[in-house]
């Protein structure tokens, strides 16, 4: 499967006093890329929660910071499922400078779980969601 790609510009609000992207903002970029990946597959999270009474939540992150992104940089953020269970997905993500050199800035894995919206306990993903995600 080809990784999903999403572009984002670095704004003032993303940087620290030195003009470098604050480390926690890469998690925001990763979250937005996962949301846009789902949208591209026709999965709208609010509609899914309303229909199924369940939602995705982040259960674990492992992130490596390699190079800084700076104000006004254009980034290419990717998302790709690397493992799928009955109630969880592991997604490999990266942020690169969107330039000919394509410097890798940050990479990591994010584990998300499918949980009941009221109790926050794990639930099996419905077959229709698994199919939309290309998981069969």
Query: Tokens 């999403």 identify what position?
Result: 6
Q: What is the pLDDT of residues 57-99, one digit of tens each?
A: 999 999 999 999 999 999 999 999 999 999 999 999 999 999 9
Q: Phi and psi of 10, rounded to 5°?
A: -85, 125
Q: Are 22 and 15 in contact (CB under 8 A)?
A: yes
Average pLDDT, the chain: 96
From the candidates 14, 16, 83, 116, give the one annotated as an active-site residue.
16
Strand partners, 62: 109
For the chain, the first-to-last Cα distance in angstroms comes to: 13
Query: Tokens 């050199």 identify what position?
Result: 101
pTM across the whole model: 0.94
Q: Is the pLDDT of residue 2 over 90?
A: no
Q: How confident is the model at residue 53 (pLDDT cuts 50, 70, 90)?
A: very high
Strand partners, 64: 107
Q: Are 65 and 23 in contact (CB under 8 A)?
A: yes
Q: Is the pLDDT of residue 136 over 90?
A: no
**pLDDT value, residue 87:** 97
Q: How far apart are CA 123 and CA 117, in angstroms?
A: 10
Q: Is 16 a catalytic residue?
A: yes
Q: Are 75 and 29 in contact (CB under 8 A)?
A: yes
């Amino acid at each position: 499967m080809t990784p999903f790609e999403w572009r984002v510009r670095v704004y003032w609000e993303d940087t620290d006093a030195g003009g470098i992207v604050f480390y926690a903002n890469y998690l925001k970029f990763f979250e937005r890329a996962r949301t846009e990946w789902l949208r591209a597959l026709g999965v709208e999270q609010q509609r899914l929660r309303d229909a199924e009474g369940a939602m995705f939540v982040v259960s674990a992150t492992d992130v490596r910071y390699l190079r800084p992104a700076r104000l006004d940089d254009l980034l290419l953020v990717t998302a790709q499922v690397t493992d799928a269970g009955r109630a969880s997905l592991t997604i490999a993500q990266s942020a690169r400078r969107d330039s000919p050199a394509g410097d890798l800035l940050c990479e990591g894995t994010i584990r998300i779980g499918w949980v009941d919206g009221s109790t926050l306990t794990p639930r099996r993903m419905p077959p229709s969601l698994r199919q939309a995600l290309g998981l069969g």
